[in-house]
Amino acid sequence: MENCSWFHLAFISLTLFFFFYTYLNYPVPKIVFSGCSKPWCNSIFTKFHSISRAQITQTSIDHLTETPNHPLDPLTVQEINRVNSILSFYEPILYSFASIHSLSLDEPDKDSVLNWKQGDPLPPRKAYVIALQDRQTHALTIDLDSGLVATHEIITSVSGYPMLSVEDTEIAAQVAMSYPELNVSASARGVSFSDLSCATPSPGWFGDNEEGRRIIKVQCFSIKDTVNYFMRPLEGLTITVDIDRREVVKFSDTGRDIPVPKATNTDYRYTPGQESGDDPIESINPISMEQPKGPSFRIENGHMVKWGNWVFHLKADQRAGMVISRAMVRDSESGVFRSVMYKGFASELFVPYMDPDENWYFKSYMDAGEFGLGATSMSLIPLNDCPRYAQYMDGVFVSADGRPYVRPNMICLFERYAGDVSWRHWEIPLQVRESRPKVTLVARMTASVGNYDYIFDWEFQTDGLIHVTVSLSGMLMVKGTPYENVNDIPNHEAMSSPLVSENVIGVVHDHYVTFYLDMDIDDTNNSFVNVHFVKEQTSPGESPRKSYLRAKRHTAKTEEDGKIKFKLYDPSEFHIVNPSRKSRLGNPAGYKVVPNANSASLLDHDDPPQLRGAFTNNQIWVTPYNRSEQWAGGLLVDQSKGDDTLAVWSQRNRGIENRDIVVWYTLGFHHIPCQEDFPVMPTVSSSFDLKPVNFFERNPILKSPPFFEQDLPLCWAATPS
């Protein structure tokens, strides 16, 4: 292999400087910019991951002295360092040779959390560690109070490996860049070795020939003349790397006759003045929601959010990204806070691509379990990602050597008002008119998982509704092609994926996000009710009507009853109710899952990607609460076979009536790319609601006051003199 060029060294240095300057001290796992295999590359990244006071003093919290205040607060920097100290003296593991793939709070038993009150001593603090050593996965529970390892298990009961670390992807890229054939192949395509940037798509699992190896795929792009290298693939080039043995397992090079797409029109960055010129863009004046008295929400003790009639716990998580816990809403009649949801988060994100080609068939990402939605999150950009008056929350995570690092400004909280109406009525004969504005609270995080960016919003309304949205932006995963125009493609109508630019195909794919929703409506004894709409025929002479709809309620007894596939012409509502908490009219208090736009997987159930993503076979699942069942794709997802998924657990068909239950909701997108998605996608979104149903005695915001002119200052642009 040739030595790192001066250009390459300069590129690495500038990249590191940029990350340091913006405090992004943990590279995106699916993107590896470095092609240098020198030892100093690793040493720089190792130092870069470590935490320093200089980084922390510019955040709102001094993480070096932070202490937990709630049973669900994430591990602090001090606690993570204590875990490292305990494990360094733990003889069954050679800690200096082990790789840490997860280090997080081992949450207390649910009963302990529910019974805890502010001012009580915290339940024992424990850490849960997943480590790899000699290709064996170790799961350990560490008691931070006693300083002892409480449990230690080598996981052999299920397939798969832990979440990939950044170090794993760095190793894979370095091994690939050191392989002599890569330089030969790049040169044959007219690409200089110094212009290569390599990414690491996950391998999935496709048979016994992959057993016993922790492998990763590596594919490369040209960074010449653009930062948007995803639009410049070296098509047909895939390197399979054994991460642990640091060797190339397979080198596939089938696309040398496919040109590397040009860099023209791929740059998506803004430059001042680009709105003028030959093709001017009419600018929209800057806009902002002003709050003269400041925001109405507050964050107490680091993680407790209080706003309007809501209170909930909010934290960052390395795998899930953002976790909402202990969500409670104030009753409009009694003033008492009532439980709605114990815990909610994005459990898995499944993205299968629809191309059977040798260099594409394996692309079936499990982004949470393979790369981590929190680990791939980036600092939010004020005024663009989040509006003025937003408040930010950091994430504290760990690198593969177990040392803590901070992801600053990972989550933002802000109030939203876009002129929407909360409720209104105008009684014309009586000349009575009433209207109320809708102001909501949004908790937001983003994950930049390689080419794609995902925006997760949990939006709380004063009427008790929770609106959950997932939005997609970023880059397409594209395929190189010899063709520049559809008219040049023989039988182009039969193409499975469309041409989106010259020499660039946007490969059809799906996105599925499965949410874990531990609903506790007023308590843990809940039931799932399918309110099914049935068409009834009228009897002869009964009515001028021929037919009507009737709602039939069915309470699910077992997990099988709780499996739901959406059908437009066979509709239902889906209620989670507390049968022992009745309204004044005798209706059980509840919330309902309200689907919005959605898609379902069409893959065969025995297709290897769908075996692993079988949790998308239904849009709704209901399971009894089990603290070990939180990840829809299983605890160990990388190269898993699908033997530890939500679909597997639910085969036990356990009882779910009048019990502590978890509802799993999957929203989905079928994505057929188009030219407007090039070179960067405009945001597309899907969502669902958690809406009160007979939870309140009447409209809970009936007494909310309207806005008046005197409440807000009148602002306008200054008139030029």
Which residues are designated catalytic? 367, 452
HSE value, Cβ hemisphere, 13 Å, CA-based, for 180: 0
Q: Which residues, 6 or more positions from 424, have their beta carbon under 8 angstroms from its beta carbon?
A: 433, 434, 435, 436
DSSP state of 233: B
Phi, psi of 263 (to 5 degrees): -80, -10
CA gap 263, 681 in Å, rounded: 17
DSSP state of 674: -
Q: What angle do CA 652, 658, 659 make, to 5 degrees?
A: 55
HSE value, Cβ hemisphere, 13 Å, CA-based, for 394: 25
Q: Is 311 exposed, middle or buried (0-12, 13-18, 19+ CB in 10 A)?
A: middle
For residue 17, give the H/E element and its range: helix 6-21
Kindly calculate the radius of gyration of the chain based on its CA atoms and give it in whole angstroms. 27
CA gap 81, 107 in Å, rounded: 18
For 303-351, what is the HEC assignment? CEEEECCEEEEEEEECCCEEEEEEEEEECCCCCCEEEEEEEEEEEEEEE
Q: What angle do CA 434, 421, 582 make, to 5 degrees?
A: 85
Residue 246: CB atoms within 10 Å: 13
Q: What angle do CA 264, 177, 499 make, to 5 degrees?
A: 30
The residue among 167, 164, 136 whose CA lies nearest residue 152 is: 136
**What's the chain's length in residues?**
721
Q: How far is CA 448 from CA 371, 439, 669, 706, in A?
A: 10, 29, 18, 40
CA gap 252, 359 in Å, rounded: 8
Give the helix ranges, DSSP H, for 147-193: 166-178, 180-188
CA gap 333, 330 in Å, rounded: 9
For residue 609, give the H/E element and its range: helix 608-612
For residue 154, give the H/E element and its range: strand 148-154
The SS3 assignment for 620 reads strand
Q: Dihedral of the CA atoms 55, 56, 60, 65 (nearest 10)?
A: 180
- What tokens were used for 15? 């990249």
The per-residue b/e assignment along 678-693, b for 16 or more CB within 10 angstroms, e otherwise, is: bbbbeeeebbbbbbbb
